[in-house]
């Protein structure tokens, strides 16, 4: 980081630290999980995903992800395959390193 960038970052940090307050941690509520259920025995296969994508209605509008059903149908074979990575992750109780460092953007 250049010297000028560092100064700017420190100024921004100084400003935000004056705006926020430190909460008393004694009064923080304890959040219990809503469920103890775990993801087990999930049957997800390339064929199931491919079939679901192939059965999409071409005439429907795109969803929150802005991907049209026509596009999803056209690339069904290519995007169905990564489900095997997801299944292996569930079976091994491990998450691929790239998934841990990915930038995730929620779609509302």
Question: Where in the chain are the domains?
Answer: 36-98
pLDDT at 70: 93
pLDDT at 108: 60
pLDDT at 45: 84
pLDDT at 74: 92
The pTM assigned to this predicted structure is: 0.48
Query: CA gyration radius for the chain?
Result: 22
Q: What is the dihedral of CA 96, 101, 102, 106, to 10 degrees?
A: 110
pLDDT in tens, 46-101: 898 899 999 999 899 998 888 899 999 999 988 888 777 777 887 787 877 777 77
pLDDT at 1: 60
pLDDT at 39: 67
Give the integer Cα–Cα distance in Å for 21 and 58.
Answer: 51
pLDDT in tens, 16-41: 888 877 777 777 777 787 777 776 67
């Amino acid at each position: 980081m250049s010297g000028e960038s560092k100064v700017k970052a420190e100024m921004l940090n100084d400003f935000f630290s004056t705006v926020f307050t430190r909460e008393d941690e004694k009064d923080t509520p304890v959040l219990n999980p809503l469920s103890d259920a775990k993801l087990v025995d999930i049957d997800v296969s390339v064929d199931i995903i491919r079939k679901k994508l192939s059965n999409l209605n071409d005439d429907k509008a795109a969803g929150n992800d802005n991907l049209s059903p026509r596009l999803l149908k056209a690339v069904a074979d290519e995007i169905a395959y990564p489900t095997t990575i997801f299944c292996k992750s569930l079976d091994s109780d491990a998450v691929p390193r790239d998934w841990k460092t990915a930038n995730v953007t929620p779609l509302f």
